[in-house]
Amino acid sequence: MRPEDVLLLPFVFAIGAVVGSFANVCIHRMPRGESVVSPRSRCPGCATPIAASDNVPILSWLLLRGRCRACRAPISPRYPLVEALVGALFFAAAFLHGFGPLALAGAILATAAVILTATDLEARVLPDEVTLGVLALGLLVAAWRDLPAVRADGLAGFAGHLLPAAAGAAFGAALVWGVGEAYRLVRGAEGMGFGDVKMIAMIGAFVGPAGVLLTLFLASAVGTVFAGLPALARNVAWSISCAAARGSAERASREGRRRGLLLSPDGEVRAAGGRWLEIPGAVPEGSPIEAAGPVARPVVAFARLARRRAAAGRSTAFGRLAVEDETGEFFRVLAARGGAVPGGLLVLLSRVDVPFGVYLAVASLVAWQWGGRALELLAAGLVIPGRSLLP
């Protein structure tokens, strides 16, 4: 990068933050089937349209102290974090690869990875608008990189980037779909959602066929290595919550609203948190938990067991409670812990299902940035399909 280009990097960060603001819109609306174009941005709490002066990425959230100007409802810190993250990824792409199609490819893939990570974590959805739309953008950027060769050699010039990008998309989709179908035939259950198939096709358009294999390897390795870290963090957080809840009935209610729910000795919901209330059919505070709908029955059954054990002075923990409605639109795997506290029974709930799309998103960025050099070391001089796509 030329010294004078460094002066443009703050503007690149600002552009990335603006893109991150749009990414927030996609994260919030796409899983709900809403348009990302209209209506204009509005407060999730009171639905008041957000003024342009209050919609400046990162700065507006800080100046408003994380609250809506109209109703003072809290605004999730996810919004400035996504804006800052996408801005930083744009900055890194330009800093490492200059101003050109290579950096643009990295910025596009990174933005898609952020959106898909958030939607997969929050709603287990990988929107087609992102996977298929960014797949098309990946092919367009690859064609742009081939333009000098096309001017010199005609259509044969597309063999440099566009053909490897198309081959990567096709190979990734075929490979993941084939693995999923084989699992379904052997085990009789879905092994890989079709959203993952489209996502790996999108990634393949940026990393090529060999990069697809590297991405899948990294995603599997990251998933295996880091599966235990959330469990450790959860146990630490739960231990702190239980210790705090034993202090008084007021603290128990506070922890119930933060991390699950608090039940009275006769089974009435005294305090309810978001992890409980998001379940279809969950009953609000003041209602008996036994009145909850069928989707919430696994948690109700756990609470029933935990109440019996708490009467004997024992706590109860369970690692996997599958909570799903008939349509499959709502699906959670929850870990739960129950124990006696002042005021009744504290039930702590935590989501433990991390979709594979999250690992794919992280692995794709690692494979794009460092995969080229890794593949060269592994190939020992052999021609690598799609190596030209990678830095």
Q: Are residues 256 and 277 in the same domain?
A: yes
For 41-81, write each residue's pLDDT tens digit.
888 778 888 888 888 999 999 999 889 888 988 888 999 99
Give the structural domain span for 71: 1-99
Determine the pLDDT at residue 189.
55
For 110-143, write each residue's pLDDT tens digit.
999 999 999 998 888 899 999 999 999 999 999 9
C-alpha to C-alpha distance for 273 and 258, rounded to whole angstroms: 5
Neighbours of 290 (CB within 10 A): 12
For 163-192, write each residue's pLDDT tens digit.
999 999 999 999 999 988 887 787 665 556
Q: Are residues 243 and 337 in the same domain?
A: yes
Is the residue at 114 inside a domain? no
Q: Are residues 240 and 313 in the same domain?
A: yes
Residue 381: is its pLDDT beyond 80?
Answer: no
Is the residue at 118 inside a domain? no
Chain-centroid distance of CA 228 in Å reads: 18
Which CATH number goes with the domain that contains 240?
Answer: 3.30.450.20
Q: Are residues 69 and 87 in the same domain?
A: yes
Residue 144: is its pLDDT beyond 80?
Answer: yes
Lowest mean pLDDT across 47-51, 239-243, 345-349: 47-51
Mean pLDDT of 31-48: 85
Q: Are residues 299 and 217 in the same domain?
A: no
3-state secondary structure of 246: coil
Looking at every residue in the chain, the average pLDDT score rounds to: 90
Q: Are residues 199 and 252 in the same domain?
A: no
Measured CA angle at 246 (ends 244, 251), to 5 deg: 55
Is the residue at 127 inside a domain? no
**Contact call for residues 28 and 122 (beta carbons, < 8 A):** no
Residue type, 144: W
Mean pLDDT of 373-390: 83
Determine the pLDDT at residue 213.
95
For 261-289, write each residue's pLDDT tens digit.
999 999 999 999 999 999 999 999 999 99
Q: Which of the four pLDDT bands, split at 50, 70 and 90, describes residue 234?
A: confident
Q: How many domains does the chain have?
A: 3
Share of the chain above pLDDT 70, in %: 97
For 213-225, write each residue's pLDDT tens digit.
999 999 988 877 7
Q: Are residues 391 and 372 in the same domain?
A: yes
Is the residue at 201 inside a domain? yes
Residue 304: is its pLDDT beyond 90?
Answer: yes
C-alpha to C-alpha distance for 358 and 362, rounded to whole angstroms: 7
**DSSP letter for each residue of 79-111:** HHHHHHHHHHHHHHHHHHH-SSHHHHHHHHHHH
Determine the pLDDT at residue 89.
97
Q: Which string of b and e fits 25-37 if b means at least 16 CB within 10 Å?
A: bbbbebbeeeeee
Is the residue at 390 inside a domain? yes
Determine the pLDDT at residue 375.
87
Q: Are residues 94 and 140 in the same domain?
A: no
**Contact call for residues 299 and 384 (beta carbons, < 8 A):** no
Q: Are residues 170 and 221 in the same domain?
A: yes
Is the residue at 110 inside a domain? no
Q: Are residues 365 and 339 in the same domain?
A: no
Q: Are residues 219 and 362 in the same domain?
A: yes
Q: Are residues 216 and 242 in the same domain?
A: no
Is the residue at 346 inside a domain? yes
**Contact call for residues 263 and 273 (beta carbons, < 8 A):** no
Is the residue at 261 inside a domain? yes
